[in-house]
Amino acid sequence: MKKTKINEAHYVLKGKMVEFCGWDLPVQYSGLNTEHVAVRTTGGIFDVSHMGEIWFRGREALRALQHLISNDASKLLPGRIQYAGLLTENGCFVDDLLVYMIREDEYLLVVNAANIEKDFLWMKKHSAGFDVQIENRSEEYSQIAVQGPVAEKLLQEFTDIDLQPMGYYHFAQGRVQGMDAIVSRTGYTGEDGFEIYFKSDAAAASKLFLDLAGKGEKYDALPAGLGARDTLRLEAKMALYGNDIDDSHTVLEADLGWILKLKKEEPFIGQEALARQKQEGIRRKLVGFELLDKGIARHGYPIRVDGRAFGAVTSGTFAPFLKKPIGLAYLPVEHCAVGAEFQVVIREKTVNARIVETPFYKRNK
Amino acid sequence: MAKENLLYSKDHEWVRREGDTVVIGVTDYAQHELGDVVFVDLPAAGKELKKGDPVANIESVKAVSDVYAPVSGKVIEANAKLNDSPELVNQDPFGEGWIFKMSVEQASELDELMDLKKYEEYLKGIAGE
């Protein structure tokens, strides 16, 4: 199993370790609910070093990027970030990712752990005609997410970057605990927070994580594991690749039309299929739901609409902060209005569900 | 709670004898593995059970897990407190967090369960895997 450079810290903090995408990572430390609520009310510190970092450099870095992604990277400025889809010809997802514009000829793409190799090969293959160097530097980088209302104060104690004026989806380069780092105001929790990218040996990476956790005590911030990361992102209706988005659902079906810029200058992979789908209309859409009866609708549980089978729950949990069972699923467009009801089959029992407004949770800004 | 006087199953349930009936719950190991319990789906009184039948579901945020009948018999009572306070399974697994009570058809089936010493060895075996 692969270990992040922070691995040792998880054992010091007595994390409950599990295998995730080939990595030895903590599912929780003190407890999933406790960690989830801490991120909503104070703060949480996550090791997300398994995420991938792929660099685009060169004269035509932007053109190559524009050809590959659904969003319009020409709108970026240095120090800004954009969420985008890496799409198949059919307009479905190879992956979802963040694009960091370092400068005119240099971009950092942050991709999902499970997809690093696949994405890298896809990007290389589909950028052959452009003057761009694409490098997978995932092994070199560690990534720590500091999330929650206290994130700014806590992280400020470790960095010379002035965090207060940093906007959402902006980043800066500076030093964190003496190490060169990229710090962005981003996250996967629905809270304010930061993600730190840095290169170091294991000792320094573990030390930073332990020091953040140690200093975090002052703010009631806790180290948090993959369990809370998943429930937090779901409450905020942030899609998870492999669950809610994949290579058989399009950007439009995933209700992510805002990352689709059909009119941008550079033609891009998936554009034709999506332009056509936009015109013809989608037949299914990703929606959020609550269960009306007792139970938890989990990933893969079958769905019934008007008595007929229609796919399965893509993500589902008991939402620890909202304290109710929630989930996501693709439903027929004629049956996806807020308030519409359908059923989830939970171990042979049919349980009623109702479509609700999403995100399920939205923080007060 | 005198854990010494309980019997244990390989599914991490404990069994307490009370005359001709048994009370069943999950062990501290089980509740820790499950994490925060949010629902317990309880059986109705009178339900006939064969040894090994699933009786109840415990839903935690992370996962769902079955509780099995450790012996054959009939459900006498389920712990209704768990409907409102499922967290008792985490907080007091050997006490207030008990799951259900059942009759015992054949007392000999109880002999197949482990005593505390054997269960602790069984846990060590799991930890060593």
Cβ–Cβ gap B62/A296 under 8 Å: no
Q: A7-49+139-235 maps to which CATH number?
A: 3.30.1360.120
Answer whether A173's CB lies under 8 Å from A181's CB: yes
Q: What is the per-residue pLDDT for B3? A: 85
Q: Looking at chain A, which residue has its C-alpha nearest residue B54? A: A347
Q: pLDDT tens digits, residue range B9-58?
A: 999 999 999 988 999 999 999 999 999 999 999 999 999 999 999 999 99
CA distance A292 to chain B (A): 14
d(CA A319, CA A154): 26
Cβ–Cβ gap B41/A317 under 8 Å: no
> Residue B1: is its pLDDT beyond 60?
no
Strands (E), chain B: 7-8, 13-18, 21-26, 37-41, 48-49, 54-60, 64-68, 73-78, 100-103
Q: What is the Cα B109 distance to its own chain's centre?
A: 15
Q: What is the per-residue pLDDT for A364? A: 85
Cβ–Cβ gap A227/B61 under 8 Å: yes
Answer whether B110's CB lies under 8 Å from B22's CB: yes
Interface test with A, best of B36, B40, B60, B89 (most A CBs within 10 A): B36
At the topology level of CATH, where does B3-105+113-124 sit?
Answer: OB fold (Dihydrolipoamide Acetyltransferase, E2P) (2.40.50)
Give the number of other Cβ atoms within 10 Å of residue A139's Cβ. Answer: 12
Q: A52-134 maps to which CATH number?
A: 3.30.70.1400
Around A199, how many Cα atoms within 13 Å sit in the side-chain half-sphere? Answer: 6
Supply the ipTM of this predicted assembly.
Answer: 0.78
Q: If we measure between CA atoms, which residue out of A342, A340, A251 comes closest to residue A302? A: A342
In order, the DSSP letters of A202-257 are: HHHHHHHHHHHHHHHGGGTEEE--HHHHHHHHHHTT---BTTTB-TTSBTTTTT-G
Comma-separated ranges of CATH 3.30.70.1400 domains in chain A: 52-134
Cβ–Cβ gap B39/A27 under 8 Å: no
d(CA A160, CA A172): 10
- Among A32, A296, A298, whose Cβ lies nearest the Cβ of B35? A32
CA distance B83 to chain A (A): 10
- Alpha helices, H only, chain B: 28-34, 81-84, 88-91, 116-127
- The H or E element containing residue A125 is helix A116-125
Q: pLDDT tens digits, residue range B99-109?
A: 999 999 999 99
d(CA A94, CA A118): 8
Q: pLDDT tens digits, residue range B62-109?
A: 888 999 999 999 999 999 999 999 999 999 999 999 999 999 999 999
DSSP for residue A69: B
At the topology level of CATH, where does A283-365 sit?
Answer: Elongation Factor Tu (Ef-tu); domain 3 (2.40.30)
Q: Looking at chain B, which residue has its C-alpha nearest residue A226? A: B62
Comma-separated ranges of CATH 2.40.30.110 domains in chain A: 283-365
A27 touches chain B (CB under 8 A): yes
Q: What is the per-residue pLDDT for B129? A: 59
Please give chain A's pLDDT, 365 residues, in tens. Answer: 999 999 999 999 999 999 999 999 999 999 999 999 999 999 999 999 999 999 999 999 999 999 999 999 999 999 999 999 999 999 999 999 999 999 999 999 999 999 999 999 999 999 999 999 999 999 999 999 999 999 999 999 999 999 999 999 999 999 999 999 999 999 999 999 999 999 999 999 999 999 999 999 999 999 999 999 999 999 999 999 999 999 999 999 999 999 999 999 889 999 999 999 999 999 999 999 999 988 999 999 999 999 999 999 999 999 999 999 999 999 999 999 999 999 999 988 999 999 999 999 999 87
Comma-separated ranges of CATH 3.30.1360.120 domains in chain A: 7-49+139-235
Spell out the domain ranges in chain B: 3-105+113-124
CA distance A247 to chain B (A): 26
- Among A294, A320, A347, whose Cβ lies nearest the Cβ of B61? A320
